Amino acid sequence: MATQHSANVYITNNTDGTAYIKLFHRSDPDGIQNGSWTASPGATVGPMTVRFETGWGSYGILDWWSVIIAVEGGSAPGTYQNSGTAVFPHWKECQLQSGDVDQKLTFGVSTVDFSINLASGGCTDGMTRLGGFSKITNVFVLMLENHSFDNIFGQSGIPQITHASPADGNTYQDVTYHVGSPAPTSMPTDPGHEFLDVVEQLGGVHAGYPHGGPYPAINLSGFAANYATTKSGGPTPASADIGKIMLGFDTSNQLPVSYQLATETTGSRRCPGRPGPTGSSSTAPRRPGWTTAPPPRRWGSGSFPGSASPTRTAASSTRCHGPVSPGAFTTMTPTPTPTTRE
Which CATH number among 3.10.129.10, 2.60.40.3820, 3.40.50.1980, 3.30.360.10 corresponds to the domain 2-131?
2.60.40.3820
Using a 10 angstrom Cβ sphere, with 0-12 exposed, 13-18 middle and 19 or more buried, the burial of residue 185 is exposed
| Whole-angstrom distance, CA of residue 13 vs CA of residue 118 | 17
| Whole-angstrom distance, CA of residue 130 vs CA of residue 81 | 7
CB 132 within 8 A of CB 37: no
pLDDT tens by residue, 179-198 = 999 999 988 988 888 888 88
Q: Is the pLDDT of residue 204 over 90?
A: yes
Where is pLDDT greater, at 139 or 12? 12
pLDDT of residue 29: 76
| Whole-angstrom distance, CA of residue 300 vs CA of residue 334 | 38
pLDDT tens by residue, 107-127 = 999 999 999 999 999 999 999
Looking at this protein, which amino acid is placed at residue 100?
D
Threshold 0.75, pTM exceeds: no
pLDDT of residue 312: 33
- In the three-class reduction of DSSP (H, G, I as helix; E, B as strand; rest coil), residue 258 is classed as helix
Where do the CATH 2.60.40.3820 domains begin and end in the chain? 2-131
pLDDT tens by residue, 33-69 = 999 999 999 999 999 999 998 888 777 889 999 999 9
| Whole-angstrom distance, CA of residue 130 vs CA of residue 88 | 16
| % pLDDT > 70, the chain | 75
| Whole-angstrom distance, CA of residue 42 vs CA of residue 35 | 18
